[in-house]
Amino acid sequence: MKLLVTGGAGFIGSNFIHYWFEKHPEDEVANFDLLTYAGNLENLKDIENNPKYKFIKGDICDRELVFSLVKDCDVVVHYAAETHVDRSIIDPSAFVRSNVLGTQILLDAVREYDKRLHHVSTDEVFGALKDFDPAFTEQTPYDPRSPYSASKAAADHLVRAYFHTYGIKMTISNCSNNYGRYMFPEKVLPLFIANLMEDKKLPVYGDGMQIRDWIHTLDHARGVDMILQKGKIGETYCLGGNNELTNLQLTKNLLKIMGKDESYIEFVKDRPGHDRRYAIDFTKAKTELGWEPQIKFEDGLHDMVEWYRNNQEWVERCRSGAYKDYYKKQYEDR
């Protein structure tokens, strides 16, 4: 089978590609990524010479290129997206372009060549939960509260509209917060790990009582795999980690693992539109697919900390943008 993975050089996409080659070494994978600020080919350095792997640098809004790539694959797994909420507050237009227009162009190509599409989304499209509200399910109404989540909600609606209007072969997954190796350093966990390695404070938004459900990125990858194998066309599946933590609890867990005390916590002004709680009910995925998270949060967090400790040069190159020199040397002349 030939997979086209959009956004495969990012954190979640690159982990998915690693997972796929481990579980399906006979398949071919084409990684299509523009290599914007968080796309990093160093994440895939260990497989770059695999004859079954191919990288294509390009824009998800490049209609001609997207059509040519979709034509040559069997399945499209769509990770490509602008993802950082804070960045979406500063520049919403970039998120609308990539996440909405880019998805629409990809859908046109999938429709044209009758390919199978899996669209990767987020629990943030559902908005915020109160403390005692039931967790998000596939039936939860959409209520996005940031430009990022609004753009992902629009993409989800487009995917479903193409299913109902044109009959494309699609599935969608909405997952909770991912964590694991290769996570870009501006995100909360790698930022905090890097800060502690440099003996710096940890900036916690507001009162730190925002609740998130954390899923290991390899559990997420396995969920997408099982949706591709067993998921029903036209359906959505919620993938969660069964691991709700306040941001303050998350911070304290990290401090404990890294041998630091709570004096490193620094409360800062909350960001606009900061959702209070996310939680995923993955009953449908468990019932229909036999999927549930397998990696315990404590184990996954320990592994993540050790990986960042052992890859500090990678962190520094990401922070400085120097990692882009790597792909320039390796790919721009190909």
Closest alpha carbon to 187 in 87, 41, 107: 87
Closest alpha carbon to 178 in 272, 273, 293: 293
CA 110 – CA 146 distance, rounded (Å): 28
Question: Which helix (H) or strand (E) is 110 found in, with range?
Answer: helix 102-113
Catalytic residue among 28, 33, 42, 123: 123
Catalytic residue among 124, 156, 213, 225: 124
What torsion do the CA atoms of 56, 58, 62, 67 make, to the nearest 10 degrees? 10
Catalytic residue among 148, 179, 264, 278: 148
Q: Is 124 part of the annotated catalytic residue set?
A: yes
CA 212 – CA 276 distance, rounded (Å): 8
Residues 6+ apart with CB under 8 A from 160: 170, 172, 234
CA 173 – CA 164 distance, rounded (Å): 17
CA 67 – CA 86 distance, rounded (Å): 32
Terminal-residue alpha carbon distance, the chain: 25
DSSP class per residue in 1-38: -EEEEETTTSHHHHHHHHHHHHH-TTSEEEEEE---TT
CA 210 – CA 38 distance, rounded (Å): 25
Residues 6+ apart with CB under 8 A from 262: 252, 255
Q: What is each CA distance from 143 to 68, 125, 138, 146, in whole angstroms?
A: 35, 6, 13, 10
* Chain center to CA of 310: 23
Catalytic residue positions, numbered = 123-124, 148
